[in-house]
Structure 1
């Protein structure tokens, strides 16, 4: 994480110091420096106990070394756990990391605004059973509820907006700097009595929370509200797919249609159309025809922020031919031109 984000200064800097821990800060990419074994070399050389990174880093490593051959070249006996944060951790990436490292892979969920974890697996107190795809359960102080569009709580297993019942616990944002009206409009007005997280998901029967997408990424296909995150899970499970993103593009008939962007594992030499056909069939089989998932294209890389978040909203604007502002935190602006070219091959991103 950039040090400007809350993870950067809390988890990287003062929280470890408060506990007397040594922090090893790595700046750079986890692949190509010189290979996909960079993280493993660091763990070996510095006896690192806990690795904290974004899922996108592990997807990049998995793409370059899908069989984990570089893992065996280093002594990783010091590693006790892997923590993932910053974006949704897809089940396929978590499973790969668990299989390769043999340590607990702990996802957790929070926001810069909240100051610390909303949902987590508190290893330092008591390790909870890991449910792949879930950051576990709300931590003390957080009354997390799933709401429908009218602001009513929904049944377990039902997708909705993730909100926190007020009051918020200590340590969270009390306002926005010189922008009290914007603070109330952005977080408090949509669901009176709640803090709106801007994320969509559901809670299961055991109280485990699942973050499926930003609420902006829940798309409406012919009146059906569908999670792009659920479709991404299906795409990511394909053996040739290293990383993916699903966005909702405007459609005159259905309102929106899902469109998939696929990054393939290194060494995959198959015809791209074959992979596309297979993932389209998988979404139809696992989610159903209601998803109307028929559009997908293979790209070399996805546009991301420096902390690893995929810029889905920017891709939607490009696909729909709308003006957009270049995100200040983008890792490599040139990727947007690559994405535009790929979308144009499907008949979108018309200038």
Structure 2
């Protein structure tokens, strides 16, 4: 860095901020990265604020609180009512209470109908998450990435965040694979760092890590070690391709 310049603030948006990023940033940059949440349609309604009048202690995994001028909620799946604290649901913007909310439709009239609740009160972001008792929001996954296993609704991001803490893991992605008994089961695709080899022992180690650091019922039933994850040109993991690949594998196995 040029003499006389000093990095004072760091922010992240576009992809969820995993814990290891801030572990690195604290050591390498001497500061923490603040996560934010936004979309093309609405801008940036959630943030871990830098401004001293809005800043709060950072919580691991939190994408922040509503920016002034915005009001957000997490809606239940079975109705369009806000959930209680720490209940997984649909992240939504309260259109009535958000003075900065200007988005109403796309260029083609009516194309946005599915983006709003039936009464027009809430704009649906298409993301699943939760909000805690303090009002901090936590991303879980895109709505279509939520895993429903034996009645449990499980977001891939929390499991991926735990797996990513293992020193052997470079990248990972978690999906729901079809299961006749549970509906879906959790499976993980893992890219290893150089110097680490795939093995049954490592797979068991990763499963145990999730059991102990997240939830005993939410560990990946299968660990797939692969060379690379499928991604978009902007670098976002394409979980739907992994789901499609796994469904094809399982269907082929049944017919053999």
Name the TM-score class by shorter chain: 0.7 to 0.9
Indicate how the Cα distance of structure 1 residues 208 and 253 shifts in structure 2: closer, same or farther if over 3 A, else same.
Answer: same
Q: Provide the rounded CA distance (Å) in 2 between the counterparts of 1:242 and 1:86.
A: 19
Indicate how the Cα distance of structure 1 residues 136 and 297 shifts in structure 2: closer, same or farther if over 3 A, else same.
Answer: same
Instruction: Show CA shifts across 1:143-170 (max 9, x none).
Output: 1111111222112122111111123544
Of 199, 206, 215, which residue of structure 1 is paired with 2:134? 206
Indicate how the Cα distance of structure 1 residues 129 and 76 shifts in structure 2: closer, same or farther if over 3 A, else same.
Answer: farther
Q: Where does residue 297 of structure 1 map in the other structure?
A: 224
Matched, 1:163 2:92: yes
Superposed displacement of residue 194, structure 1: 0.7
Instruction: Show CA shifts across 1:257-306 (max 9, x none).
Output: 111011222332x4432221111112223343432521111122211122
Q: Where does residue 245 of structure 1 map in the other structure?
A: 173
CA contact 1:86–1:308 (8 Å) conserved in 2: no
CA contact 1:87–1:308 (8 Å) conserved in 2: no
Instruction: Show CA shifts across 1:44-72 (max 9, x none).
Output: 3xx4xxxxxxxxxxxxxxxxxxxxxxxxx
Q: Where does residue 145 of structure 2 map in the other structure?
A: 217
Of 97, 100, 118, which residue of structure 1 is paired with 2:25? 97
Gaps of 5+ in 2: none
CA contact 1:234–1:286 (8 Å) conserved in 2: yes
Gaps of 5+ in 1: 1-43, 48-74, 322-343
CA contact 1:221–1:292 (8 Å) conserved in 2: no
Task: Give the number of equivalent residue pairs.
Answer: 251
Superposed displacement of residue 256, structure 1: 0.8
Q: Where does residue 236 of structure 2 map in the other structure?
A: 309
Q: Provide the rounded CA distance (Å) in 2 between the counterparts of 1:121 and 1:312.
A: 27
Indicate how the Cα distance of structure 1 residues 101 and 267 shifts in structure 2: closer, same or farther if over 3 A, else same.
Answer: farther
Q: Provide the rounded CA distance (Å) in 2 between the counterparts of 1:306 and 1:131.
A: 30
Indicate how the Cα distance of structure 1 residues 92 and 277 shifts in structure 2: closer, same or farther if over 3 A, else same.
Answer: same
CA RMSD of aligned residues (A): 2.5
Matched, 1:144 2:72: yes
**What is the TM-score when the length of structure 2 is the normalising length?**
0.87
Structure with a larger share of its residues in strand: 2
Superposed displacement of residue 124, structure 1: 4.8
Q: Provide the rounded CA distance (Å) in 1 between the counterparts of 2:31 and 2:4.
A: 10
Structure with a larger share of its residues in helix: 1
Alignment of 1:1-351 (within 5 A): 44=1, 47=2, 78-114=6-42, 116-124=43-51, 126=53, 127-149=55-77, 150-167=79-96, 168-170=98-100, 172-178=102-108, 180-185=109-114, 187-189=115-117, 192-268=120-196, 270-291=197-218, 293-321=220-248
Q: Provide the rounded CA distance (Å) in 2 between the counterparts of 1:348 and 1:99.
A: 47
**What is the TM-score when the length of structure 1 is the normalising length?**
0.65
